[in-house]
Amino acid sequence: GQLAVSLDNALLYDSLENEVRARTAELADRNRDLEAAGQLKTDLIGMLGHEINNPLGTIFGYLDLILTGDPMPPSTEELVTKVQRTTRRLAGIVDEVLALVRIDAGRLTATPRPVRVADHIEAALSTTTATSTVTVTCPPGLTAAVQPGHLDQILTNLISNAGKYGGGVETINAYAIDSGPITIDITDHGPGVPPEFRDKLFNRFARAETTAAKVPGTGLGLYIIRELARANSGDVHYHPAPTGGSTFTITLPPA
């Protein structure tokens, strides 16, 4: 009686243990397959992104030569400018995809170095549709510790967004209080972000219903630039501007 029950229990335990081992091995194999597939996807997207970026750089170069070369009819100049704008938008999408791949793979890292904030604000304004009415306040010697390309991407995205959604940038105010973080406030004079959407603003693929149908975009930009800022021990925040519109605040470590 009791011996037989004990033997049955032992056999059942062995059977269950073998089943668990088999299932564990099967799951491990599937996980390895999924990881390999994920790595392949990451490598493929990264390779395609770089392959697209190379000819885009060449196109930018030729467009700049055309626009700064001999005078051309206004209609031709307008067409070339439109091509330049569209090419820049495509390059921005490629940059977003490459950044997203690095984030997903846990490979988004930064190599901060001292950079003059004023230089990067000026460069970002020159590559967007921002007009000369932007009021910029930035001490010439203000220096942040950040990877230069990351700061460029953050500034360009926020200035471009202000043009698309906020009627254009109104002010850019960069400063540091004592030995605190470098702070850059970018303010527009648009309608602002609806209160019910503010908590989702930095989520992936987040787009407010009021603008999603009107303005093309991926809904990835703000998510990515916050990750870029955080990779540099900084951050990006939103708050309504006191005079209406939106203010996006970038914080970065001082150099």
Contact predicate 155/121, CB 8 Å: yes
The verdict on 162 and 187 lying in the same domain is: yes
The verdict on 48 and 124 lying in the same domain is: no
The verdict on 195 and 92 lying in the same domain is: no
The verdict on 182 and 101 lying in the same domain is: no
- For residue 226, is pLDDT > 90? yes
19-28, 40-49, 106-115, 221-230: the lowest-pLDDT one: 40-49
The verdict on 119 and 227 lying in the same domain is: yes
Task: Please tell me the distance from the alpha carbon of residue 208 to that of residue 187, in angstroms, as a whole number.
Answer: 19
Last residue of a domain, one of 105, 123, 138: 105
The verdict on 136 and 203 lying in the same domain is: yes
Q: Give me the number of domains the chain comprises.
A: 2
What's the mean pLDDT in 144-167? Answer: 88
Range of the domain at 14: 2-105
Answer with the residue of higher pLDDT: 85 or 46: 85
The verdict on 164 and 50 lying in the same domain is: no
Count CB atoms within 10 A of the CB of residue 65. 9
What's the mean pLDDT in 58-86? Answer: 84
Contact predicate 184/253, CB 8 Å: no
What's the mean pLDDT in 6-17? Answer: 71
The verdict on 214 and 130 lying in the same domain is: yes
Two tokens, residue 21? 């081992």
- For residue 109, is pLDDT > 80? yes
Q: Would you state the pLDDT for residue 236?
A: 97
β pairing state of 169-176 and 135-137: parallel
- Say which amino acid occupies 21: R
| Alpha-carbon radius of gyration of the chain | 26
Query: Sign (positive/negative) of CA torsion 63, 65, 67, 72?
Result: negative
Contact predicate 238/158, CB 8 Å: no
The verdict on 123 and 50 lying in the same domain is: no
Contact predicate 185/206, CB 8 Å: no
Task: Please tell me the distance from the alpha carbon of residue 88 to that of residue 155, in angstroms, as a whole number.
Answer: 15
pLDDT digits (tens, 9 = 90+) for 23-71: 777 777 776 766 666 666 666 666 776 677 778 888 888 888 888 888 8
Kindly list the distances between the CA atom of residue 210 and the CA atoms of 166, 192, 216, in Å, as whole numbers in the listed order.
12, 11, 12
Last residue of a domain, one of 83, 105, 127: 105
The verdict on 93 and 123 lying in the same domain is: no
Question: Tokens 């939103």 correspond to what residue?
Answer: 238
Last residue of a domain, one of 39, 73, 105: 105
The verdict on 42 and 61 lying in the same domain is: yes
Q: What are residue 172's DSSP bridge partners?
A: 136, 186
The verdict on 212 and 94 lying in the same domain is: no
Give the CATH number for residue 56: 1.10.287
